[in-house]
Structure 1
């Protein structure tokens, strides 16, 4: 046998050996089992009722407006914190405003309508607008809701009193002006836990 035949036979023998070894790895008992798993995310659903909390006309310095509204947890997860972002725009009727109308509107967050002397937090709209939502949450909602937050299916009543502050100075620049207030409530989830 020539050298070429010997090399070819050696290569073919090696290839056959590899095929037999590779094929032999599947020659043992085996069994499989497939599981079906589900991960369903919960929902955060914070609602405010009514959506229009304050709509009042013809206010003057010294007037106050008392309104109540509800925060509802309609989701499937407990709400840990409620945050509040304040924004407003002023329509200057005569174009003569030297000051921000929001600096003259004082907001008092109250525990409930029966205890008007129990103020949770008091500030002007201008100050409220400049605060972070987290700071407002800590100042207003944490004292009201406490560590329990807003559990699933619960409703908490909030009461606000809005005062057009009478400061004893000339406030004629605000005659005919309008302030459009937008409050955005944000709910955050509770901390994750072992399930």
Structure 2
């Protein structure tokens, strides 16, 4: 056999030997453990006991009414704050030819004839005229004022009392016995009250039960 062939066999044999040595580095023992992990979002569910709070017609100056709405927390999460939003629609100016100005007015004029007092669990939150409720459309009014404490824990409820008074204004037209409030006869509006609940701030959590 030539020297070149002998060298080639020697090199192949050496390579095979290294391969066998490298392939022998494995362990017979091992262990596998598994953990099953879950997370689930809670529910935020503000409820009301009425879909219509007041629906009255044929009102006159001096009339008033008080209605109570119960707000409840039917969710699993505590409610941080509750905000009141309000929108007004459906108003139309009714003309009265026997009045010197034909009874012309606008929606704000009409709504100013009504005072609205809001109470939470018999605590007064203040009195506004109905036209001021329109500002709650873009700037919702906080009605809980609970600070850092939850407004409603899961399963709790609160009473919101709303009193509306048609103001009796004795003012008259100049040189006339006709009262200026005559211009509001036959007029009306639809006021939508919307209550919005917010969650408590996020926080570090541990496993349930810990």
Q: 1:105 Cα shift? A: 2.1
- 1:71-95 per-residue CA deviation (whole Å, 9 max, x = no partner) reads 0111111111101111111321526
Please give the secondary structure, in 2, of the residue aligned with 1:76. Answer: coil
SS in 2 for 1:56: coil
CA contact (8 A) 2:46 2:73 kept: yes
Contact 1:93-1:175 within 8 A present in 2 as well: no
Contact kept? 1:71, 1:156, Cα under 8 Å: yes
- Post-superposition shift, 1:25? 7.2
Which consecutive unaligned segments of at least 5 residues does structure 1 have? none
Q: Which residue does the alignment assign to 1:65?
A: 65
What value does the CA root-mean-square deviation take over the aligned residues?
3.2
Residue 39 (structure 1) aligns with: 39
Which protein has the larger Cα radius of gyration, Structure 1 or Structure 2?
2
Deviation (angstroms), 1:125:
2.3
Alignment of 1:101-116 (within 5 A): 101-111=110-120
- How many residue pairs get matched? 179
* TM superposition score normalised by structure 2: 0.70
Gaps of 5+ in 2: 96-103, 172-179
**In the superposition, relative to structure 1, how do residues 104 and 30 fare at CA in structure 2: closer, same or farther (>3 Å)?**
farther
Distance 2:49 2:119 in 1: 17
Query: Following TM superposition, by how much is the alpha carbon of 1:50 offset from its aligned partner in structure 2, in angstroms?
Result: 1.2
- 1:141 corresponds in structure 2 to 144
- For residues 13-162 of structure 1, the aligned pairs below 5 Å read 27=27, 29-92=29-92, 94=94, 96-100=104-108, 101-111=110-120, 119-131=124-136, 132-133=139-140, 136-137=141-142, 140-142=143-145, 147-162=149-164
Distance 1:44 1:150 in 2: 11
Q: Is the 8 A contact 1:92 1:174 kept in 2?
A: no
Asked whether 1:163 is paired with 2:165, we answer yes
